[in-house]
Amino acid sequence: MTQQPVIFIDGEAGTTGLGIRERLSALPVTLHSIDPAHRKDPAVRKDAMAAADLVVLCLPDEASREAVEMANTLGQAAPRLLDASTAFRTAPGWVYGFPELSPAQAEAIQGAPRVSNPGCYPTGAIALLRPLIDAGIMDAHYPVCINAVSGYSGGGRMMIEAHERDGGPAFELYGLALEHKHVSEIHLHAGLARRPVFVPSVGHFAQGMIVSIPLHLDDLNGGVTGEDLHTALAGRYTAQDHVHVLPADPKLSAEALAGSDKMELRVHGNPHTRQAVLTARLDNLGKGASGAALQNIALMLGLTQA
C-alpha cells in the first residue's frame, strides 16, 4: 500500500489554514498537526516540517519569511513549500500558484519546490487581464483601473469583529493611498507594463468578491468588440474546472459564490458607447485563498481531487 503524502499547515488556526484543513478531505493525504500549545515553538515546527512532504505556510508575511529560512536549514530533508502570504508572490525562485495563468502554468506548479498562492483580488484581476494582453487585444501600457469589493472575512480579526458587531460599517473604501500590497502582484502577473490603479472595498457581508475593470474599446487594439473580449477569455479557460466564462448579466451579487471554489468571468459591453466592463466573481476564501491552495496542493503532489 502506497503511503499517503504528509502535509503540515504552519498557521493551521488562521482563516486560510482552517479553510485548507477542511478541504483536505478531498485529497488522499495525511495531515500532520502539532499541539496548539506548541504552535509557536520553533523546534516543534521544525520537526513538523522535516516530517512533511509539503508544508503550507498560512502566516503573516514576516513570519512566513522566517518559516522559509527555517525550512532552508533542513537541507536535503527540506519539504516543498506552498506559501499563502504576500511575501513571495513576486519573488524570484517561486512559481506563481495560479494554474490558469497560462497553458504551461499547471505543469510549472507540479514540478516547483516553492509555490506562492495568489491573492484574492489578483486572482480575479489577472484572470481578466492576462488573456487580453497575451492575445494582443490590450496593450501592456493600457491605463488599467481595477475596482473590487470583498466580504469582510478576508480582512483579519479586527475587521471581522468590526463587521460582526451591531452597527458595523455597511461599505468601506480602503487602500486609497494607492499602495495596496496586491498591486505589484497584479502588475507583474497580468503582464502589465504600467502600474494599475487599484481601488479595493469591503462590504457588510462575510464572503464573496467581485473584481471589475472598465474599458474603452476604442483604446484597445484592432477595433475589438465586447464579443471579441468574451471570445478571448472563453478560449483561454475552455478546459478549466474552476474558471468559467459566462454571458453578461445586468446585475451581480458578490455573495453568490460564497462557499464555492469556482470563479465566474463576464464581459458586459455596450456596442453603442464602445465601452465594456470585465467582471470576475469568486469567493475571497475559496478560489481567492483556501480553494486555490487545494488546487496547488493537488498539483504539487500529483493527486486528483475527490
CA–CA gap between residue 196 and residue 26 (Å, rounded): 37
Start and end residues for every CATH 3.30.360.10 domain found in the chain: 120-284
CA–CA gap between residue 300 and residue 101 (Å, rounded): 16
Start and end residues for every CATH 3.40.50.720 domain found in the chain: 6-118+289-301
CA–CA gap between residue 278 and residue 226 (Å, rounded): 9
**Percent of the chain, pLDDT > 90?**
87
Q: Model confidence over 219-247: pLDDT tens digits? A: 999 899 999 999 999 999 998 899 999 99
Average pLDDT (271-299) is 97
Helix, strand, coil in percent for the chain, rounding step 5? 35, 20, 45
Q: Model confidence over 47-80: pLDDT tens digits? A: 999 999 999 999 999 999 999 999 999 998 899 9
pLDDT at 306: 53
Domain spanning 120-284: CATH superfamily: Dihydrodipicolinate Reductase; domain 2 (3.30.360.10)
Q: Model confidence over 149-174: pLDDT tens digits? A: 999 988 777 787 888 877 678 899 99
Task: Confirm whether 145 is a catalytic residue.
Answer: no
Ranges assigned E (strand) in 163-251: 171-173, 197-203, 209-216, 243-245
Q: Which one of the listed residues 120, 127, 190, 233 is annotated catalytic?
A: 120
The architecture (CATH level 2) of 6-118+289-301 comes to: 3-Layer(aba) Sandwich (3.40)
pLDDT at 291: 97
pLDDT at 1: 40
Closest C-alpha among 18, 24, 3, 1 to residue 305: 24
User: In the predicted model, is pLDDT for residue 211 greater than 50?
Assistant: yes
Q: How confident is the model at residue 112 (pLDDT cuts 50, 70, 90)?
A: very high
Cell (9 digits) for 64? 512566513
Q: Model confidence over 11-54: pLDDT tens digits? A: 998 999 999 999 999 999 999 999 888 888 999 999 999 999 99
Angle at 301 (CA atoms; ends 297, 303), nearest 5 degrees = 85
Helix or strand run (H / E) with residue 76: none
